[in-house]
C-alpha cells in the first residue's frame, strides 16, 4: 500500500463522535469491494453479500466470455490504493482482472466479510425504531433469513441482470437444435466451431464475440445491430493511445457542462468552429483507419453527439473481418424465427445455429420496495441520485458503481470514499436534503434537455465529464488539492495515484457538531 493510501486509514476509534455502523454491501464486484474497503477502513462492521459463487461481478470467470479484456488501460482501471501488476498488458484480460480483484480482497481482509451464494430477496425499513434496513437474505438452499443493518450500500451496478429477448417462432428454432444465449453465457469458444453464429448487438461484447467466433472456426458469422456506431481503436491513428485524446480535460471541456453561466455559454459559441473542426478531424481519422466506407459502417450520428458510456472500443480484427466478409454486418433487429432461420425486421433471412444476445443488462434495484423505488426512479427511467450516489429521500442507503464511466474502478473508489463520509455526516460540504433535491432537478434537466446523450443508462453515465464528476466529489470530501499539472494537466488522463494523494489531503474526521 502506498503512503497516500496509508494516510486514509484513519479509524473511527480516534473519532468517538462517529458511531460505528453495521453496513451491508450488496455485490462483490469492483464497486462492492471498493465500498467494503472504504467503510471497514473507517471502523464500520461490514458484511458483503454476493449472490454468485465468486467475487468479481462481471469479471467472475463464470460470467466472462472468451477473449474478454478491459476497455480502459490498466492505469485507469484500478483502485487508488493498489496498482495492477507491472506484468499485466495495457488492456488486461478477464482472468487477470479477476485475479487483481481477488488479491485486493485478500490484502484488505475483504474476503473475510464476504458471504457468497447469498441473494437479497427484499428489504424494508427497520421496525425496531432504529435507523437502517432489514434485509431478507436468501441462501444457497433457498432459506430466507431477516437481518438488520444500520446502512446499506447497493453495489450491484449496471451489469447485473441480463436483458432477455424473445421473438415469434423462437420455439421452432430451439426445436431444430438451435441455441439462444446471452453474451454472459458464451463461455466456451467451441460453441461456435463449424456452426452459423448470429450475434445481436452493437457493444464491444458483441464485436468481441463475433471476432472470437471467426477465430474459433465458425462456419458463418453475422452481427446484427440497429445502425453503425462510432468505435474507438486502442491507438488512434495507430500511434496515440486513445486515453491521451478522449480521457483528458481539454477534450472534456469541449462539451458544455451543467450549471454554466452566460459567459461560459458565450465562450462555447466563440469556440464552436474550432470544436467542430476537432470532431470532424477525429471522424476523418477514424474513417480512414478503420476503413468504415469499405465496411459500409459509417455512422450517421456526429461523433460528439453520442459520446457517453455506450461508445465502444473497436475490437482488434473486427473491421478487417467485416471488410473481407468473414463477418457479415446486418442492420436492423430480430423480427421472428423460422426453424433454422432468423428473419430480420427488414425481411432479410439469416441461417443460424447459435444466436448470441449481446444486448446488455437491465438497470434496476428489484429488491427495493415500490414506495422507495418511486423515490429513486422517475417515470422515464432517470435515476434521482445526488452525485449519482445518494438520494435524500432514501435514508441510510447509498449506491456505488452506478456512476458508470470509462474509469469504472476509479469512479467506484471515489464514490465509496464519498459515501462513507456522507453516511457519517463527515463530508466537508455535507449537503442538506433540499440542496440534494435541487441539484438532482438541475442535473435531470441537463440530461433531458441540454445533453440527452448524458441520459443513457438512466442518466448514470459520467462520460465525457469524468474530471467534472471527480472534481465535485473531491470538493465535497474537502481535498485540498484536486487538480494537477497546471495548463499541461489539461492534456493528461486521470491518475489513480494522484487521487490517492488528493484523498489523503482531505480533513480527518472531526467531532460532530
The residue-averaged pLDDT of 495-504 equals 93
Same topology, domains 3-12+20-161+362-504 and 164-360? Answer is yes
CA angle 79–85–91, rounded 5-degree value = 80
Residue 475, pLDDT > 80, answer yes
Q: What is the pLDDT of residue 433?
A: 97
Q: According to CATH, what is the number of the domain 164-360? A: 3.50.50.60
Domain ranges in the chain are 3-12+20-161+362-504, 164-360
Q: What is the pLDDT of residue 398?
A: 98
Please, which residues bridge with residue 290 across strands?
A: none
Q: What is the pLDDT of residue 275?
A: 96
pLDDT band for 67, please (50, 70, 90 cuts).
Answer: confident
Q: CATH fold of 3-12+20-161+362-504, please? A: FAD/NAD(P)-binding domain (3.50.50)
Q: What is the pLDDT of residue 482?
A: 65
pLDDT band for 456, please (50, 70, 90 cuts).
Answer: confident
Q: What is the pLDDT of residue 15?
A: 44
Whole-angstrom Cα distance, residue 373 to residue 450?
26
Name the least confident of 293-302, 423-432, 453-462: 453-462
Q: What is the pLDDT of residue 6?
A: 43
Residue 511, pLDDT > 70, answer no
The residue-averaged pLDDT of 472-480 equals 93
Average pLDDT along the chain = 91
- Residue keyed to cell 456452426: 195
pLDDT band for 411, please (50, 70, 90 cuts).
Answer: very high
Whole-angstrom Cα distance, residue 81 to residue 263?
39
How do 220-225 and 328-331 pair as beta strands?
parallel
Whole-angstrom Cα distance, residue 447 to residue 443?
6
Q: What is the pLDDT of residue 309?
A: 84
Q: What is the pLDDT of residue 13?
A: 43
Whole-angstrom Cα distance, residue 465 to residue 450?
14
pLDDT band for 395, please (50, 70, 90 cuts).
Answer: very high
Residue 80, pLDDT > 50, answer yes
Please, which residues bridge with residue 314 across strands?
A: none
- The DSSP 8-state label assigned to residue 59 in this structure reads G
Whole-angstrom Cα distance, residue 316 to residue 211?
8
Residue 326, pLDDT > 60, answer yes
The residue-averaged pLDDT of 475-488 equals 80
Residues 227, 201: contact at Cβ < 8 Å?
Answer: no
Q: Which of 405, 411, 404 is nearest to 383 (CA)?
A: 404
Q: What is the pLDDT of residue 7?
A: 38
Could you read off the pLDDT of 109-119 as tens digits, one per residue? 999 999 999 99
How crowded is residue 7: how many other Cβ atoms within 10 Å of its Cβ? 15
Residue 16, pLDDT > 70, answer no
Q: What is the pLDDT of residue 485?
A: 66
For residue 190, the number of C-alpha atoms closer than 13 Å in the C-beta half-sphere is 0
Residue 488, pLDDT > 90, answer no
- Residue keyed to cell 469541449: 254
Could you read off the pLDDT of 256-273 as tens digits, one per residue? 999 999 999 999 999 999
Could you read off the pLDDT of 341-391 as tens digits, one per residue? 999 988 999 999 999 999 988 888 999 999 999 999 999 999 999 999 999
Q: What is the pLDDT of residue 421?
A: 96
Whole-number percent of the chain with pLDDT over 90: 80
In DSSP notation, 463-512 reads: TT-HHHHHHHHHHHHT-S----SGGGGGGS---HHHHHHHHHTSPPP---
Collapsing DSSP to helix, strand or coil, 423 comes out as: helix
Q: Which three cell numbers stand for residue 256?
A: 458544455
Could you read off the pLDDT of 205-226 as tens digits, one per residue? 999 999 999 999 999 999 999 9
Q: What is the pLDDT of residue 454?
A: 87
Amino acid at each position: 500500500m502506498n503512503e497516500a493510501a496509508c494516510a486514509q486509514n484513519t479509524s473511527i476509534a480516534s473519532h468517538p463522535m462517529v458511531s460505528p455502523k453495521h453496513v451491508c454491501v450488496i455485490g462483490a464486484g469492483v464497486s462492492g469491494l471498493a465500498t467494503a474497503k472504504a467503510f471497514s477502513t473507517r471502523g464500520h462492521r461490514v458484511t458483503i453479500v454476493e449472490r454468485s459463487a465468486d467475487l468479481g461481478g462481471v469479471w467472475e470467470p463464470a460470467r466472462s466470455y472468451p477473449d474478454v479484456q478491459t476497455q480502459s488501460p490498466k492505469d485507469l482501471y484500478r483502485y487508488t490504493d493498489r496498482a495492477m501488476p507491472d506484468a499485466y498488458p495495457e488492456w488486461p484480460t478477464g482472468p487477470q482482472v479477476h485475479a487483481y480483484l481477488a488479491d485486493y480482497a485478500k490484502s484488505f481482509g475483504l474476503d473475510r466479510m464476504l458471504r457468497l451464494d447469498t441473494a437479497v430477496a427484499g428489504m424494508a425499513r427497520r421496525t425496531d425504531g432504529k435507523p437502517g434496513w432489514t434485509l431478507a437474505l436468501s441462501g444457497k438452499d433457498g432459506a430466507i433469513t431477516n437481518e438488520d443493518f444500520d446502512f446499506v450500500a447497493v453495489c450491484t451496478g449496471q451489469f447485473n441482470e441480463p436483458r432477455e429477448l424473445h421473438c415469434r417462432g423462437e420455439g421452432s428454432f430451439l426445436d431444430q437444435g438451435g441455441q439462444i444465449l446471452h453474451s454472459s453465457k458464451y463461455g466456451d469458444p467451441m460453441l461456435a466451431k463449424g456452426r452459423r453464429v448470429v450475434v445481436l448487438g452493437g457493444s464491444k461484447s458483441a464485436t468481441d464475440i463475433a471476432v472470437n467466433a471467426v477465430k474459433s472456426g465458425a462456419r458463418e458469422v453475422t452481427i446484427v445491430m440497429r445502425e453503425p456506431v462510432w468505435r474507438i481503436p486502442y491507438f488512434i491513428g495507430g500511434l496515440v493511445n486513445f486515453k491521451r485524446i478522449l480521457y483528458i480535460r481539454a477534450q472534456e471541456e469541449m462539451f458544455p457542462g451543467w450549471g454554466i453561466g452566460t459567459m461560459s455559454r458565450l465562450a462555447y459559441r466563440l469556440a464552436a468552429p474550432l470544436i467542430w473542426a476537432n470532431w470532424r478531424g477525429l471522424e476523418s481519422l477514424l474513417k480512414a483507419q478503420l476503413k468504415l466506407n469499405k465496411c459500409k459502417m459509417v455512422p450517421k450520428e456526429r461523433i460528439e453527439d453520442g459520446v457517453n458510456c455506450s461508445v465502444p472500443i473497436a475490437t482488434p480484427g473486427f473491421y478487417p473481418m467485416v471488410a473481407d466478409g468473414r463477418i457479415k454486418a446486418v442492420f436492423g433487429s430480430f423480427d421472428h424465427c423460422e426453424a433454422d432461420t432468423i428473419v430480420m425486421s427488414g425481411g432479410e433471412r439469416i441461417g443460424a445455429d447459435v444466436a448470441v444476445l449481446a444486448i446488455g443488462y437491465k438497470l434496476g434495484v428489484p429488491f427495493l420496495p415500490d414506495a422507495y423505488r418511486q423515490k429513486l426512479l422517475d417515470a422515464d427511467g432517470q435515476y434521482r441520485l445526488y452525485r449519482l450516489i445518494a438520494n435524500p429521500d432514501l435514508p441510510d442507503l447509498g449506491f456505488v458503481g452506478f456512476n458508470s464511466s470509462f474509469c469504472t474502478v476509479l469512479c467506484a473508489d471515489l464514490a465509496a470514499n464519498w459515501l462513507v463520509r456522507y453516511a457519517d455526516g463527515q463530508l466537508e460540504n455535507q449537503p442538506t436534503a433540499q440542496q440534494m433535491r435541487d441539484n438532482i432537478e438541475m442535473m435531470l434537466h441537463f440530461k433531458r434537455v441540454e445533453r440527452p446523450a448524458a441520459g443513457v443508462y438512466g442518466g448514470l453515465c459520467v462520460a465525457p465529464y469524468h474530471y467534472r464528476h471527480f472534481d465535485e466529489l473531491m470538493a465535497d470530501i474537502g481535498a485540498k488539492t484536486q487538480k494537477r499539472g497546471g495548463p499541461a494537466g489539461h492534456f493528461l488522463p486521470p491518475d489513480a495515484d494522484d487521487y490517492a494523494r488528493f484523498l489523503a489531503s482531505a480533513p480527518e474526521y472531526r467531532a460532530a457538531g
